[in-house]
Chains A and B, each alone.
Chain A
Amino acid sequence: MGSPIRVLIAKPGLDGHDRGAKVVAIALKEAGMEVIYTGLRQSVEQITSAALQEDVQVIGLSILSGAHMPITKKLMKMMKEEGLDEAMVLIGGNIPRNDVKKLKALGVREVFPTGSKFDDIVKFIQSNIPN
């Protein structure tokens, strides 16, 4: 076993409903991961720089407002520019099924819509991050 997996949970946009973000952050922490939560109203720039600074392997975005497509596009582009391509991007929140494929095409590794099980998220991260 190496050092704990480092995860950034981020809440982009103006939406202030952070219950899901916080609950998943706690669940990942309980599973032994190192979790950093950004707080509300984070711009893509702020999220990217936090990910760089905290040297995370996973970035989890929580989006409930419906603005997941434009935000994700912008984030993936900026991550590439900053050489962050290796970090795994996951998205949680209110995501219509039709958009899941589109998000994956942008490079998002997995989408965990509202109601996803903690265990599934934890297992996905653990089995996809090399130790």
Chain B
Amino acid sequence: MVVSKVREMKKKVELPDVVLESGIKVKPIYGPEDVKDIDFEKDIGQPGEYPFTRGIHKYMYRFRPFTMRQYSGFATAKETNKRFKYLIKQGQTGLNVAFDLPTQCGLDSDDPLAEGEVGRVGMAIDTLKDMEDAFKGIPIDKIGTSLTINSMAPIMLAMYMTVAEKQGVPANEVRGTLQNDILKEYIGRGTWVFPVEPSIKLIGDTIEYCSKHAPKYYPVSVCGYHIRESGANPVQEIAYAFLIAKAYIQHVLDRGLDVDDFVPRFSFNFDIHGNLFEQIAKFRAARRLWAKIVKEDLGAKNPKSMQMKMIAGGGGGGLTIEQPENNIVRGAYYALISALSGTQTMALCSYDEAYTIPSEKAAVISLRTMQILLDEMGLQDTVDPMAGSYYIESLTCELEKLICEMMDKVEKKGGIVKAVSDGYIQSEVARQAFLLEKGIQEGKIIKVGVNKYREEEEEREIEFHDYKAEKAEKQIKRLNKVKKERDDSKVSKALKALKKAAEAGDNMMDTVIDAVRAYATVGEITATMKEVYGEFKEPVRL
């Protein structure tokens, strides 16, 4: 009755249409009829139980709050080490490591292509020596570390495990996450090296290695985040990430591993910006759909395999260079969304990152934002407080349906591996980015401070990490010193074994670990693998 009355009222007033990024039309009022097809037990259920719509744990933050993590990495391993120690002292419970571009692309600091980039966006790692310095005095068994690395993931994992071993921490005690999601690198971010097929094979190697030796480690973090930051809408973000995760899983299943042996250690990295309700529903829908996929399509028996674990962070894509203090407010809403969505780990970008490298002050504000939610705002008290909302539950169902349709569309085009190899996904995402930008420029999509409530303000100067050539020189000197002091015969023996393993199609982890231990450089190991695998050729289509 109430609803019909409202309908009547609506006839009298002209209300503007509201369409979400995913194309869903929002009604001004939601009620019981919008959730009448939902079976509470089957579709929503209890937190910690299939299909995990309400969260993957029974008591969620009441039992253990989300992990708070900030991205950090400075020019050299030693500086990074100092920042890590500072962040741990501030109460941060996990570390997130940024590497410089040469390291991410498999180039040594003295490579001509690395010129001007050494230590610029993160730390330079040339040999095991650098990794040893970065984690000096940091208890690897007590802190979970996230390594933001992709094509070089097998090498960085080998180094991290070796450092742990040297600290006396056995592999089966090491906790952390490797980003290790190459398919999204071809879509956005772009730190690919090898062609698609051998790259997926290398991911399989790390997963197999971890399932045997490092069961507490998360070898893959599938990143919808960067796909969305490249322009994808929320539906594409989840659909493409799930297809990518399925491709990796299928590859490992083909090796004869059981789905429950390794899928419990999969995690996802998703993006938050845009409409608050759409984001929360996106995560709830994703959790439910992933559980169904893993149980029904992949045949998992262990509920842990079906749980979609995630890091959800406020994305730089939502921040503005105009009136940058507004980004503190945006960051607080992103954190709220993240907490209302049942994330396991939260990372926020800093308010100043649209125009500069985050200052220490900005990084602490982000950390405090998350702490305020937990300690002052009651986000820790009860699980999935949005459940049962007519609007949220209805949106959750609609989004799940749209994500499924998007996944089917790609499957019909020959699957995600083909769609990435031939550039189809890249052009879909670029087109979406264009439409969004056009919408903002035409004032159809509002960004406060940019195309509405704009103020005359002093133009803000864009700042970059102070690039100091002498730091790069220092890094090159260190590299040369390591090269001089190492046993070259051990290195060439290790590289030969590495090449042989690559040719034979063996799991590469053992030979990479041996090469790393012999202080072979990242560039040497990469060049050896390139001889066998070749290099990726970017499909360019607009």
Most buried by B among A66, A70, A114: A66
Total interface residues on A, CB under 8 Å, equals: 35
Q: Are B116 and A26 in contact (CB under 8 A)?
A: no
- The docked-state distance in angstroms from the alpha carbon of A117 to that of B538 is 28
Q: Indicate whether A13 sits within 8 Å of B190 (C-beta atoms), given known contacts A23-B231, A118-B441.
A: no
Contact among B107, B321, B540 for A114, CB-based, below 8 A: B321
Residue of B nearest to A69 (CB): B116
- The docked-state distance in angstroms from the alpha carbon of A80 to that of B78 is 43
Q: Are B321 and A29 in contact (CB under 8 A)?
A: no
Specify which chain B residues have a CB less than 8 angstroms from the CB of A38 in the assembled complex: 540
Q: Indicate whether A118 sits within 8 Å of B116 (C-beta atoms), given known contacts A17-B190, A40-B190, A96-B461.
A: no
Specify which chain A residues have a CB less than 8 angstroms from the CB of B38 in the assembled complex: none
Specify which chain A residues have a CB less than 8 angstroms from the CB of B438 in the assembled complex: 27, 118
- The docked-state distance in angstroms from the alpha carbon of A122 to that of B121 is 32
A126 interface hit (Cβ, 8 Å): no
Q: Are A23 and B465 in contact (CB under 8 A)?
A: no
Contact among A17, A67, A96 for B117, CB-based, below 8 A: A67
Q: How far is the CB of A100 from chain B (nearest CB, A)?
A: 11
Specify which chain A residues have a CB less than 8 angstroms from the CB of B434 in the assembled complex: 22-23, 26-27
A47 interface hit (Cβ, 8 Å): no
Contact among B104, B120, B185 for A66, CB-based, below 8 A: B120
Specify which chain B residues have a CB less than 8 angstroms from the CB of A35 in the assembled complex: 542
Residue of B nearest to A120 (CB): B441
B468 interface hit (Cβ, 8 Å): no
- Cβ proximity bits B166-187 to A, threshold 8 Å, 1 near / 0 not: 0000000000000000000100
B219 interface hit (Cβ, 8 Å): no
- The docked-state distance in angstroms from the alpha carbon of A26 to that of B463 is 28
Q: Indicate whether A19 sits within 8 Å of B433 (C-beta atoms), given known contacts A67-B116, A95-B462, A96-B462.
A: yes
Q: Are B542 and A37 in contact (CB under 8 A)?
A: yes
- The docked-state distance in angstroms from the alpha carbon of A115 to that of B465 is 21
A14 interface hit (Cβ, 8 Å): yes
Q: Are B191 and A16 in contact (CB under 8 A)?
A: yes
- Cβ proximity bits B88-108 to A, threshold 8 Å, 1 near / 0 not: 000000000000011011010
- The docked-state distance in angstroms from the alpha carbon of A17 to that of B430 is 12
Q: Are A37 and B540 in contact (CB under 8 A)?
A: yes
Q: Indicate whether A13 sits within 8 Å of B321 (C-beta atoms), given known contacts A37-B540, A96-B462.
A: no
Q: Are A39 and B464 in contact (CB under 8 A)?
A: no
B40 interface hit (Cβ, 8 Å): no
Q: How far is the CB of B165 from chain A (nearest CB, A)?
A: 31
Q: Are A19 and B116 in contact (CB under 8 A)?
A: no
- Cβ proximity bits A91-131 to B, threshold 8 Å, 1 near / 0 not: 00011111000000000000001110111000000000000
- Cβ proximity bits B366-393 to A, threshold 8 Å, 1 near / 0 not: 0000000000000000000000000000
Q: Are A97 and B461 in contact (CB under 8 A)?
A: yes
Specify which chain B residues have a CB less than 8 angstroms from the CB of A117 in the assembled complex: 441
Q: Are B542 and A94 in contact (CB under 8 A)?
A: no
B257 interface hit (Cβ, 8 Å): no
B329 interface hit (Cβ, 8 Å): no
Specify which chain B residues have a CB less than 8 angstroms from the CB of A96 in the assembled complex: 461-464
Q: How far is the CB of A78 from chain B (nearest CB, A)?
A: 16
B459 interface hit (Cβ, 8 Å): yes
Specify which chain B residues have a CB less than 8 angstroms from the CB of A29 in the assembled complex: 542
Q: How far is the CB of B229 from chain A (nearest CB, A)?
A: 8
- The docked-state distance in angstroms from the alpha carbon of A83 to that of B393 is 64
Contact among A16, A39, A41, A66 for B189, CB-based, below 8 A: A16
Residue of A nearest to B460 (CB): A97
Interface residues of A in 40-79 (CB under 8 A from B): 40-41, 43, 65-67, 70
Residue of A nearest to B463 (CB): A96
A82 interface hit (Cβ, 8 Å): no
Specify which chain B residues have a CB less than 8 angstroms from the CB of A15 in the assembled complex: 101, 190
- The docked-state distance in angstroms from the alpha carbon of A13 to that of B191 is 12
5 contacts between A and B (CB under 8 A): A14-B114, A22-B433, A22-B434, A27-B438, A40-B538
B→A interface (CB under 8 Å): 101-102, 104-105, 107, 113-114, 116-117, 120-121, 185, 188-191, 229-231, 321, 355, 430-431, 433-434, 437-438, 441, 450, 459, 461-465, 467, 538, 540, 542
Extra 4 A-B pairs, beta carbons < 8 Å, given A27-B434, A43-B113, A65-B120:
A16-B191, A18-B188, A23-B437, A65-B117
Smallest CB-CB A-B distances: 3 pairs: A16-B190, A66-B464, A14-B101
A→B interface (CB under 8 Å): 13-19, 22-23, 25-27, 29, 35, 37-41, 43, 65-67, 70, 94-98, 113-115, 117-119
